[in-house]
Chain A
Amino acid sequence: MSITHHIDTSTLMSFAAGSLGEALSAVTAAHLDMCAACRAELRLLDEIGSALVDDLAPSPLDSAPPTMQLRRLEAEVRAEAPAVARSGSDVPLPLQRFIGARLDDVSWSRLGIGVWQHRLRLSSKASGDLRLLRIAPGRAVPEHGHTGNEMTLVLKGAYSDALGTFRRGDLADLDEEIEHQPVADAQEGCICLVASDAPLRFKGLMGRLTQPFTRI
């Protein structure tokens, strides 16, 4: 099963530049963890950043290089590198420290009929919205547009909308011009990670979805 929907190059450029907000960056990093094609693209985008920094006029440092002989013990050894075991996990590595290694272990709160969510906490300075959504088989999310960017990454199951069918690893990178109405796969349903850089508008969507059940 291969990934057919990828990150927009301009979004990936922002990510490489360190100019993409935290919520969108989280989804981007999770997709990259699953997608070798986008990792290859990121490599060149990192090289572009490096070349731009290389061309800056250097600002001389006031202090001399620290003496490192005494600091050898700080060095990390190569063998310690893989910090997290990947086997048996269906959660992309960048998300594991937030939600653990298994989607089965995520705690859900009910949002509406056939829809559950798990919100991920962002840094206090970050704007935007990041949450996991679990949609029951065959259930639709109400049609909505976006005032900002919205990115949706499928982690389990699949959904379909006017843009096609999105399966595990596929990413929808949408801006405000796109309206869509995702319907979860009839057999498996869908778990996806959704990020938005415009919290209020996303709330609007969730509001419509959940109004009878919760106060957001």
Chain B
Amino acid sequence: MSDLLQRIADRGDAEAFRKLFLTFGPRVKAYMMRHGADAGKAEELAQETLLVVWRKAGLYSDDKGSAATWIFTIARNLRIDRLRREVPFQALPEGHQEEASSEALPDEALTARERQERVRAALATLPPDQHEVVTLSYLEGLSHSEIASRTGLALGTVKSRMRLAYQKIREAVEDLQ
């Protein structure tokens, strides 16, 4: 997928965009619906996400992470803007050139893909109580205190489960770094 994005970045490749659109559009639509958008609104936001991908592809390079992650950040920012109606302060992973240039490994793209696989595998093996708070945060858009009242957990428990989940996933990708 990163090579499709790279082709859009390098030469405005319309066929690469079509493939990317067909792959990510339905996922972004599902993401928006999870966050409460109706089907029409979710479709519109998915289209808009992919149009931002097209416009900003020139800012992407695969040493900044996988295409999927880059597209996720665009979809998330659009959700904050349109569904939460707040200012998204999250920058796209495009600034801060220093990390990329200091270790421009030739197999960085592969590493991003492999990282992504490890993250998925680690997520799948999280204990259910940790998986739950992570999902409520990312897919339901709930704050710490909203998760606490939804689950009946103490605020401190919500936070420590998030930290534990992060720790486990970090261990799973650590030897790749």
Interface residues of A (CB under 8 A from B): 8-11, 13-22, 25-26, 28-29, 32, 36, 39-41, 43-63, 65-69, 71-72, 74-78, 80-82, 93-94, 122-126, 148-149, 175-177, 197
Minimum CB–CB distance from A122 to chain B (whole Å) comes to 8
A9–B27 touching, CB < 8 Å: no
A54–B14 touching, CB < 8 Å: no
Contacts of A28 in B (CB 8 A): 89
The B contact surface, by secondary structure, is helix
A-B contact count (CB 8 A): 216
**Does chain A have a CB within 8 A of B104?**
no
Q: A15-B90, A25-B89 are in contact. List 13 more A-B contacts (CB 8 A).
A: A13-B134, A14-B144, A46-B72, A52-B138, A55-B120, A61-B29, A65-B50, A68-B18, A76-B58, A76-B59, A81-B59, A149-B144, A175-B159
Contacts of A71 in B (CB 8 A): 54
Number of chain B residues close to chain A: CB under 8 A? 83
A125–B72 touching, CB < 8 Å: no
Minimum CB–CB distance from A12 to chain B (whole Å) comes to 8
A67–B14 touching, CB < 8 Å: yes
Minimum CB–CB distance from B70 to chain A (whole Å) comes to 8
**Which residue from B14, B26, B71 sits with its C-beta under 8 Å from A69?**
B14
Interface residues of B (CB under 8 A from A): 8-9, 12, 14, 17-18, 21-22, 25-31, 33-34, 39, 42-43, 46-47, 50-51, 54-59, 65-66, 68-69, 71-73, 75-77, 79-80, 84-91, 93-96, 98-99, 115-116, 119-120, 123, 134-135, 137-139, 141-145, 155-156, 158-160, 162-163, 166-167, 169-170, 173
